[in-house]
C-alpha cells in the first residue's frame, strides 16, 4: 500500500504523513522561472549501502536504472530528481517525499504555463480558476518538490537531502536478494514508488490541502470526491466523465492515491499503481503516465501543445512537509 509523504525542507512546510509531523517554518517567496537548465529529464539514483552491499546488487541496481530510464525517455522536463534507494525487510515498498504548501492560484498558473499536451488542455479546462482549490475549497495546495520544479517553480528539498527516499523489499521480488521468494516484480514496485516521489498520491486522511492528483478525483457521476467514506467510490479522470482508473477508497490499509485492487475491478488487469501488488504480475506504466502528465510533467507525445503558454507567477511557500507511504506485500489476484 502507499501512503503520502511530505518533504522536510527548505522552502515549504514539512510534514510527515504516515505518523507525526515535522514542523518547519520558512516563509520564502519562490520564483517560478529560475529553474536551472539541464540537458533533459534526469532521475539520479543514490544507492544506500543496504543495496550496494547486497550480493545481487548489480541485478537490483540494473532493474532500478532500467525503471528510471523509462521516465527519462517519456518526459522532457529539464530537471534532475534525486532519489535515495535502500533495502527493507517488511512490506513491499515505501517512499518518503518532500512537499511544499502554497496558494492554489500560483500552482494553477504554473501548471497552465507548463501545459504541452491535449490531455493537459482537457484537464485544465476542468479546473477552477481559484483562488480556492476545487477539492476542499480552501486557497492552498501541497506539491512535491520534483513536481514543483517540473512546472517551473524552483523549489528544492533541504540542503543535502534528495527529493525522496524509496525502500524496496528485495527479499520478495524478482530479481531480488539471495533467497528471495521471487513473488513481486521489482521494476513495477520501483516505478510505483518513483511515481509518488514525482508527485502522485493523495492528501486524503492527511491534510485539507490537496495534492495535484486530488484535482482529478471524481465519483461515477462526475462530482468531485474527496472522502474517506469506504462506501464512496472514487475515480481518476481528467474531464470528470472518462474514468481512467479507480482509486483505492476502501479504507483497507492501502494508499488513497493508489488504484483499487482489493478487490480489483472486474476486467481490469494489474497496474503499476495498484494499492496491493499482484504476485508474479509484470505491469507496465500506462495510466500513470497520464496522471504525471496532467500534474505537470511534459510527456513526449507526437502532437503540438493545445494550450498557449502563460507567464508563471510566484509561489509563497511556508516550510516543508514530508509525505510518507508504505506499501504492503500485495494480495493475490482477484
Q: pLDDT tens digits for 181-223?
A: 999 999 999 999 999 999 999 999 889 999 999 999 999 999 9
| Dist CA 187 CA 233 (whole Å) | 29
Residue, of 136 and 14, whose pLDDT is higher: 136
- Kindly report the average pLDDT of the chain as a whole number: 84
Phi, psi of 269 (to 5 degrees): -75, 165
| Dist CA 302 CA 313 (whole Å) | 29
Sort strands 42-47 and 80-87 into parallel, antiparallel or unpaired.
parallel
Put simply, whether the predicted model's pTM sits higher than 0.85 gets the answer: no
- pLDDT score of 286: 97
pLDDT, mean of residues 88-92? 95
pLDDT of 131 above 50: yes
With a CB cutoff of 8 Å and minimum separation 6, the contacts of 115 are 121, 124, 305, 306, 307, 309
- pLDDT score of 326: 66
pLDDT, mean of residues 149-158? 96
Q: Name the nearest CA neighbour of 101 among 148, 137, 162.
A: 148
- pLDDT score of 230: 86
Which of 28-37, 271-280, 308-317 is predicted with the least confidence, judged by mean pLDDT?
28-37
Quote the cell numbers at residue 200.
502522485
The answer to whether 177 and 56 are in contact (CB under 8 A) is yes
In angstroms, the Cα distances linking 276 to 1, 9, 35, 211, 271 are 6, 30, 36, 21, 10
pLDDT, mean of residues 63-79? 98
Question: Could you report the per-residue pLDDT of 36-50, keeping only the tens digit for each?
Answer: 334 599 999 999 999
pLDDT of 23 above 90: no
- pLDDT score of 327: 65
Q: Is 58 exposed, middle or buried (0-12, 13-18, 19+ CB in 10 A)?
A: exposed
- Domain locations in the chain? 5-327
Amino acid at each position: 500500500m502507499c501512503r503520502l509523504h511530505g518533504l522536510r525542507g527548505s522552502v515549504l512546510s514539512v510534514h510527515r504523513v504516515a505518523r507525526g509531523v515535522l514542523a518547519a517554518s520558512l516563509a520564502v517567496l519562490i520564483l517560478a522561472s529560475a529553474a536551472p537548465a539541464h540537458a533533459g529529464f534526469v532521475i539520479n539514483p543514490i544507492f544506500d549501502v543496504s543495496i550496494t552491499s547486497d550480493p545481487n546488487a548489480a541485478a537490483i541496481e540494473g532493474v532500478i536504472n532500467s525503471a528510471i530510464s523509462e521516465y527519462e525517455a517519456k518526459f522532457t522536463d529539464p530537471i534532475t530528481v534525486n532519489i535515495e534507494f535502500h533495502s527493507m525487510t517488511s512490506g513491499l515498498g515505501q517512499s518518503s517525499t518532500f512537499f511544499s504548501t502554497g496558494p492554489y492560484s500560483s500552482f494553477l498558473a504554473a501548471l497552465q504555463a507548463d501545459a504541452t499536451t491535449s490531455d493537459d488542455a482537457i484537464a485544465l479546462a476542468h479546473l477552477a480558476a481559484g483562488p480556492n482549490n476545487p477539492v476542499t475549497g480552501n486557497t492552498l495546495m501541497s506539491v512535491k518538490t520534483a513536481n514543483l520544479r517540473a512546472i517551473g517553480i524552483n523549489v528544492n528539498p533541504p540542503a543535502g537531502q534528495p527529493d525522496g527516499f524509496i525502500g524496496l523489499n528485495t527479499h520478495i521480488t524478482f530479481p531480488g536478494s539471495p533467497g528471495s521468494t521471487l513473488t513481486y516484480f521489482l521494476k513495477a514496485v520501483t516505478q510505483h514508488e518513483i511515481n509518488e516521489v514525482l508527485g502522485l498520491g493523495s492528501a486524503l486522511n492527511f491534510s485539507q490541502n490537496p495534492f495535484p492528483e486530488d484535482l482529478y478525483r471524481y465519483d461515477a457521476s462526475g462530482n468531485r470526491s474527496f472522502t474517506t467514506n469506504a462506501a464512496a467510490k472514487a475515480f481518476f479522470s481528467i474531464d470528470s466523465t472518462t474514468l481512467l482508473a479507480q482509486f483505492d477508497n476502501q479504507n483497507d490499509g492501502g494508499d488513497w492515491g493508489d488504484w483499487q485492487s482489493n478487490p480489483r475491478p472486474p476486467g481490469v488487469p494489474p497496474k503499476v499503481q495498484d494499492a496491493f501488488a499482484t504476485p508474479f504480475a509484470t505491469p507496465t506504466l500506462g495510466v500513470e503516465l497520464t496522471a504525471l502528465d496532467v500534474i505537470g510533467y511534459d510527456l513526449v507525445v507526437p502532437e503540438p501543445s493545445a494550450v498557449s503558454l502563460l507567464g508563471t507567477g510566484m509561489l509563497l511557500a511556508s516550510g516543508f512537509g514530508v509525505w510518507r507511504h508504505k506499501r504492503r506485500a500485495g494480495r493475490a489476484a482477484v
